[in-house]
Amino acid sequence: MDDIIVSQFLLIIAILTTGVIYGTDMFHALVVRKATPLSKNSSIADLVGHTHLIADKRMPGIGITSLMATATGVILNFENACAAGLLGAALLMLLSHLYLYMNIAKPVNKEMSDAAVKNVVPENIRALQIRWESVIYYRAAFLTAAMLLLTVAAAVL
């Protein structure tokens, strides 16, 4: 019985932390992606650059917690094939999201953040934003799937 309580607690943590990242990426996919083409280059460089600067400092702890809670849930529920399978699939979605973030978004974040701190507008600001936005729908889709899988896992745990 104690394992179930621990598993439920971890699943709540996984859902809450994944939800923070999910909400952030969905907001960018649905709102920011539509607003940036309407914005001035200097506005994009300043606001988006500073947003990435702050997010890249605050979000990793949330993401790591999400991954660790989900992975630990897989291990603790290994004998419950349904729950372990759902949690394993959610973990795969989270890792897929992380792959896109680390390889495409994070390098753009760094360049835009550095420019914002120096108070300069990169000549390629639109190209940087387009590069970053090129994977936001995929990232949002991976997180949607992860949230769905975590929620269903909660129902079968």
The pLDDT tens digits along the chain (157 residues) read 588 899 999 999 999 999 999 999 999 999 999 999 999 999 999 999 999 999 999 999 999 999 999 999 999 999 999 999 999 999 999 999 999 999 999 999 999 999 999 999 999 999 999 999 999 999 999 999 999 999 999 999 9
Rounded to 5 degrees, φ, ψ at 124 are: -100, 30
Measured CA to CA, the distance from residue 105 to residue 125 in angstroms comes to: 14
Measured CA to CA, the distance from residue 86 to residue 145 in angstroms comes to: 10
Contacts of 117-122 with CB under 8 Å at 24 or more apart are 117/49, 117/53, 119/46, 120/45, 121/41, 121/42, 121/45, 121/46, 122/45
